[in-house]
A and B are shown apart, each in its own frame.
Chain A
């Protein structure tokens, strides 16, 4: 009986969990890490980016996003859309070709892999024979031409990937027809380029590495013309009228050839644009006509080798205007968007994919300004040093921010975003969310994080307050050759690392912002609609206050500008506190109602009254034996050189983001066994040891302040609440200070005082990472001003309050005002994981609108996400989220107030995840088959017939499995159905096979 009842309770608890929690990784924001290929479909108006880790991402109108991942962990080298269709082909580093399709299911499009293919040469042939170097998706939509390293061109029927052997163009055939006098006759080298005649689709230009270009008729299967270029070929372009062929070469030259019937060995025009001295290769050349007047000529590279060989440039020449667009990172590829559908109008925009960003240049507006990208924005224009999320921004602040942001966007083009494919069907986000990222160069970027697109709103720079070595770089002088123009915002070089932003706190109700940095500086800023000029006077706070025998050997304080500084409209600093010693700020909190800002370093913490601009409290948390903290970062035993090398290695390691792969079970098992064997063998050689030692109080950095928290709670007795400041340290200590605030009318005159009230030393001495006070209902106390703005229920101040202290190892609940331990949950002692990031979130139920629960969300060093109940501190759910080796990913995680979160999957990308069933931001979009084209009905070719249903069922099953986190009845049903479908299709297959036999 008892057993039964308990079972009943458990199932109810499970149901509750299902209603509240669900783990999904929803969107990747930012710029894909290490892009390696770019593709564009003029008919779909979608652009595709392939990366070195094997992902393929499609982007259209803002909000239209698709992502696919190849099973092979190989780089995507080429992406080609099939003309006028919803299919695209990718070529990977391992020489495999993949067919992807945008399929619509229940009104939403999905990117699905529908086929794969690897060229097989004749037996015994060297692998170079089938190594694909050039791909041409023929405009008929049925053929794919594949040029290889061996010089052959294979013709394959798509989408079924059927080799049409009889139509292949072998090197021997070409070589036979090459004129006798061509010097490169013996060895034509690989196929460098494949191009279709824009006018006559049966004519194809094949460019060989040695320089020969052959125009081949794929219907008649014969060579029409030979163009005998003598330089190593880099790329080929066929002008739109079909009359000319442009070739670019490795010596920095390009040639124009007449395309016709007769063989030519004299170019019509040849030029080395940046000539005289040796130049680098022109890797791609495009010429596009305009309705009136001269054409656009665009090419990448070709810079003088000695003087500008390290620049990444695209040159645009039009009507005597000549500009060399100078990018800050390597150019991957570029394309031009043209005015009307089907690729015939004037060029409107140049889209350039460089290694670290996507730059779009408006070619219609004079001066060719840059168009602000609504997505794919480089988050890492300067390295991200911290992030802060603010949910549900009040409309007033939001509008102000948007308005000030627009003032900053004056240099951008006013043209709308030119990539407009697909329809965004997602509902408007329920609330306005803001993500703030702090950067190494002292800037804070404000992002609109409410929807699928992480859109830049506003950028704040704090560097202006300080003297820095860097003066604004003078732009290139008039008449400089080549005529460089800097484009792009990726600039990873910081003027002064001390400017780096370490902590951010924004009060969304009052619009006050506190920003703290690497050199112990804390700025309090206020939103102002107009520019203002004033002096920011620094207040130096000595956190050691007479502690003797300590010498700071780290960096110096930042020098503050003594003259008035002109601040543009936006957030303007009105108070600056500088800590002494100028150690990194490790904790920051702002209470806008009490007008107090609290900050902590490795030496102690302080409380500052920003209305009276006076220091309220300084507390040194140092342990006298804490030598390391005293001397600063430079005196570490390890040499800088060594640590630099190590950190580079770590970055490199973390960059190789291993993604999930679906491998069949047996091979997975074998692989795992082999790996284990190898690992074990390695271990035997050099055993990794770990010392088991109890923590002692003399560990270094015990005084480091990890968390600062303000609350109005029962501190002295259980009948009156008092304002208080709470600080938690690395050594497991919590200091509590009682604050006495004068009444509002005398707030500006009377001093605020702080007195020590309590001190809690956790016996397990683990670092305190979070402090939360829970009200009588077990709900965390609201943020300052939240109740005043009617946005939160006022807390229950009648019942007894509880204190929740989150250390890296345990969650502990204490009673208040008398601090007695009530409950706890141990983490490290049980499974060895430590708390790395924590947040308090509200989870809404998926079933009933008004039911919801607060929970503590925690990310551990193992990369697991845990939800812990409040106030009972019971572990509710656990989801694996990040690989535990990805330390930077784990460290970068931020939680929202509604059960979502962000973490960096690469230096430039945030992954958004959701733990909630109700709050989910994911792309929902539809791409329709272009109108002007009739989708070719597939000729019933056998391989397609048999492979497709299987593929489909399999992928469907996989999808279902991914969503089957909750064993819902409906989901189970679906799995069963798909399994049955699989069986049926298998049956069909076998039947068909039998018939074939």
Chain B
């Protein structure tokens, strides 16, 4: 693979798909041109000049991400290795091609409506385009604001789709609790260090000396540091930690009434500067987005976790002969059969590219992937 990359030099191979049609082309990595140029290029290649389209690309971790401005276009080009897979959908198409990464049951397919204000043709000259929350890969969120005390914070860290390390350390410590008998010192688990550039640090939701109260809905009191470590590592693909922040000044205020559920969401865009605006807690996105204002409880979370967990990769070799034929088969044949099978990785990559459409529809790693090849014998 690496040898190939060297040979290709600065060329980006593009494989774009519109409905059932594929197109392949390439352009130079160092002069990709702008987003609009690329947009019209695709329209030309697919001969769909009059159609309003949405662009998406599959990044190296398998997520489908949108291309709708210069920033994420550059990102997409950077991520090409050297193949860049582009998926083109009609704007009117429903359901939307960009599934929400959260894969909530019942919310799995979010609807991306044709929104005039975001239409590329009409608005692209009016200042900077603001991407919608769904267009980014969510890496963390504050959840359950409505059911937790104000002093606590429940943070979900999504490991999926980032190459950043989770990046934090925990230690034993002493916590002060108010009990009927007065103030009491009890042992607790605290965050002792955040790794620079790690996921935990980049969210800004976890801080030094925050006390850890729960891990994925399970109380950590009475558990040893090693036990808590194991629990966190075992849940690392979808870690939900409830903390009591050491710094209580940035707490989410309930704004008086229960009905207005404030949920602040923090997004990362793989290093691009796009989402800076979103960190503003009063931004309309956090209020207007019913999907991310999650009211899921701990139980709900574990349900979802179950889904995540079932993504064990199962490779079944269905080319195996049936017992009757096996008896009769000569050993030569068997040998050649197994030889082709030993070339595991190559087969797998091939399979992936073939089954690309379903791959996206099932939002990738969501389900156990069963790769089957047609019967070699019958």
Contact = CB atoms under 8 A, between A and B. Distances in A.
Contacts of A691: 168-169, 229
B166 A759 contact: no
B218 A831 contact: yes
A154 to B, nearest CB: 47
Interface in B42-67: none
A690 B327 CA distance: 55
B317 A720 contact: no
Contacts of B177: none
A834 B230 contact: yes
B229 A832 contact: yes
Interface stretch (B104-112, B280-288, B308-316): B308-316
A717 interface: yes
A692 B168 contact: yes
Contact of A819 (B169, B224, B311, B314): B314
B208 interface: no
Nearest to B329: A740
Interface stretch (A427-435, A760-768, A989-997): A760-768
Interface string B334-378: 110110011000000000000000000000010010000000000
Nearest to B321: A716
Contacts of B337: 755
B234 A819 contact: no
Given A692-B169, A692-B229, A830-B218, A755 B320 contact: yes
Contacts of B225: 688, 690
Interface in B296-342: 305, 308-318, 320-323, 326-327, 331, 334-335, 337-338, 341-342
Contact of B314 (A676, A720, A758, A831): A758
Interface stretch (B80-88, B141-149, B185-193): B185-193
A589 to B, nearest CB: 22
Contacts of A693: 165-167, 233, 236
Contact of B341 (A740, A751, A755): A755
A604 B327 CA distance: 28
Contacts of A695: 233, 236
Interface string B72-115: 00000000000000000000000000000000000000000000
A716 B323 CA distance: 9
A809 B234 CA distance: 7
B346 to A, nearest CB: 14
B252 interface: no
A753 interface: yes
A683 B227 contact: no
B207 to A, nearest CB: 14
Contact of A759 (B227, B236, B237, B314): B314
B213 interface: no
A756 B344 CA distance: 10
A760 B326 contact: no
A471 B185 CA distance: 64
Interface in A829-853: 829-834
B322 A717 contact: yes
Contacts of A126: none
B171 A687 contact: yes
A755 B231 contact: no
B311 A763 contact: yes
Interface string A849-863: 000000000000010
A818 interface: yes
A828 to B, nearest CB: 4
A738 B171 contact: no
Interface string B230-250: 111111110000000000000
B58 to A, nearest CB: 20
B216 interface: yes
Given A680-B187, A833-B230, A740 B326 contact: yes
B170 interface: yes
B317 A688 contact: no
A183 interface: no
Given A690-B229, A740-B326, A756 B341 contact: yes
Given A687-B173, A690-B171, A764-B309, A758 B341 contact: no
Q: How large is the interface on A (under 10, 10 to 19, 20 to 34, 35 or more residues)?
A: 35 or more
Contacts of B172: 683, 687-688
Contacts of A755: 317, 320, 334, 337-338, 341
A821 interface: yes
Contacts of A116: none
Contacts of A862: 227
Given A694-B166, A759-B315, A766-B234, A689 B227 contact: no
Contacts of B310: 763, 821
B50 to A, nearest CB: 44
B150 interface: no
Nearest to B335: A753
B174 interface: yes
A687 B192 contact: yes
A826 interface: yes
A692 B230 contact: no
A727 to B, nearest CB: 14
B169 A690 contact: yes
A566 interface: no
B205 interface: no
B228 interface: yes
B231 A832 contact: yes
Contacts of A759: 313-315, 317
Contact of A720 (B316, B322, B338): B322
Given A819-B316, A829-B234, A832-B226, A690 B341 contact: no
B193 A689 contact: yes
Contacts of B171: 683, 687-690
A762 B313 CA distance: 7
Contacts of A758: 314-317
Nearest to A682: B172
A689 B312 contact: no
B166 A828 contact: no
B279 interface: no
B216 A829 contact: yes
Interface string A518-560: 0000000000000000000000000000000000000000000
A383 B81 CA distance: 54
A742 to B, nearest CB: 9
B315 A828 contact: no
A757 B233 contact: no
A824 B232 contact: no
A49 B160 CA distance: 60
Contacts of A683: 171-174
Given A763-B313, A819-B314, A862-B227, A753 B334 contact: yes
Interface string B103-131: 00000000000000000000000000000
A826 B234 contact: yes
A680 B368 contact: no
A722 interface: yes
A343 to B, nearest CB: 55
A614 interface: no
Contact of B309 (A690, A720, A763, A820): A763
B353 to A, nearest CB: 20
Interface string B153-178: 00000010000011111111110000
B187 A676 contact: yes
Contact of A829 (B185, B231, B314, B327): B231
B166 to A, nearest CB: 6
Interface in A658-704: 676, 680, 683-684, 687-695
Contact of A689 (B174, B192, B234, B313): B192
Nearest to B313: A761
Contacts of B173: 683, 687
A-B interface, 5 closest residue pairs, ranked by CB to CB distance from nearest: A832-B227, A694-B236, A828-B234, A829-B234, A761-B313
Given A740-B326, A826-B234, 5 more contacts: A687-B171, A692-B170, A829-B216, A829-B231, A832-B229
11 contacts: A676-B187, A680-B187, A689-B170, A690-B225, A693-B165, A693-B236, A694-B237, A717-B322, A756-B342, A763-B365, A764-B237
